[in-house]
Amino acid sequence: MRKGILFIISGPAGSGKGTVVKELISSHSDIALSVSATTRQPRPGEEHGVHYFFITKKEFENRINSGDILEYTTYRDNYYGTPLKEVKKALDKGKDIILEIEVDGAMQVKRKIRNSVAIMLTPPDFDTLESRLRGRGTEKEEDIVWRLNRAKEEIQLLPKYDYSVINENGKARECADMVYNIIKAEHQKTKNTKKDLIKKFI
Ligand code: 5GP
């Protein structure tokens, strides 16, 4: 059976990664999205268990201590982390799984899961990033400034990622297709095909 691969998708605020990931998941049923846990407050329209598991700081710390978190970080004074069990289950079933996480968590996963693949989505440039972030109107000015500065730090980790994909304005579909092409190509890497394929010949 084909083995699932873990894909990390990161991108600074304003990279449009949420939209791209939604496009990708909705058109490919063999790819699952990991739902993270967080201690931040839900934004309007966000649902528990769908967008995040919204839990308390105490619950989050209990989960860290019980080893149930694959990676975690603090972002804007809130914890964000990936529940381990669901990721394992999906990979064991042969599903590819996507973690939509920031750079610190991404580096933890790359260290722990050697076969994982990290993709960074970026807007075309900083000005586009800023106008997207301001345009969505979901954050206070203070949050926007914090996220803009954070974006400058995050982009410097680009060389540690395996792939970068630019998400041009209005091109989320094309960007999702590019990510899907990367996913397909990763499955064709000989490290992922050699065992089964050679067996069929000798
Ligand atoms: P937001 O508050 O905008 O939903 O997310 C803030 C940042 O946290 C985003 O960069 C998002 O990708 C990241 N994030 C979401 N879930 C996780 C997670 O489980 N682990 C880590 N390390 N980052 C996450």
- pLDDT-above-90 percentage for the chain: 89
3-state secondary structure the chain: CCCCCEEEEECCCCCCHHHHHHHHHHHCCCEEECCCEECCCCCCCCCECCCEEECCHHHHHHHHHCCCEEEEEEECCEEEEEEHHHHHHHHHCCCEEEEECCHHHHHHHHHHCCCCEEEEEECCCHHHHHHHHHHHCCCCHHHHHHHHHHHHHHHCCHHHCCEEEECCCCCHHHHHHHHHHHHHHHHHCHHHHHHHHHHCCC
- What pLDDT sits at residue 2? 74
- What pLDDT sits at residue 79? 98
Using the atom order of ligand 1, give the atom closest to the CA of residue 10: 12
Mean pLDDT value of segment 175-194: 96
| Residue 152 tokens, joined | 């400058």
Answer whether 73's CB lies under 8 Å from 36's CB: no
Residue 156 has pLDDT above 90, yes or no: yes
Residue 1 has pLDDT above 80, yes or no: no
Substitution candidate for ligand 1 out of 20, 33, 38, 103 with most atoms within 8 A of CB: 38
Q: 68: closest CA among 94, 36, 46?
A: 36
Mean per-residue pLDDT over the chain, rounded? 94
Residue nearest to atom 3 of ligand 1 (CA): 13
Regarding the beta carbon of 123 and ligand 1, being less than 6 Å apart is answered no
- What pLDDT sits at residue 199? 93
Give pLDDT tens digits for 35-62. 999 999 999 999 999 999 999 999 999 9
Mean pLDDT value of segment 133-153: 90
Q: Which CATH class is domain 6-188?
A: alpha beta
Q: Domain limits of the chain?
A: 6-188
- What pLDDT sits at residue 81? 98
Give pLDDT tens digits for 106-141. 999 999 999 999 999 999 999 999 999 999 887 889
Q: How far is the CA of 142 from the centre of ligand 1 (A)?
A: 18
Using the atom order of ligand 1, give the atom closest to the CA of residue 105: 22
- What pLDDT sits at residue 50? 94
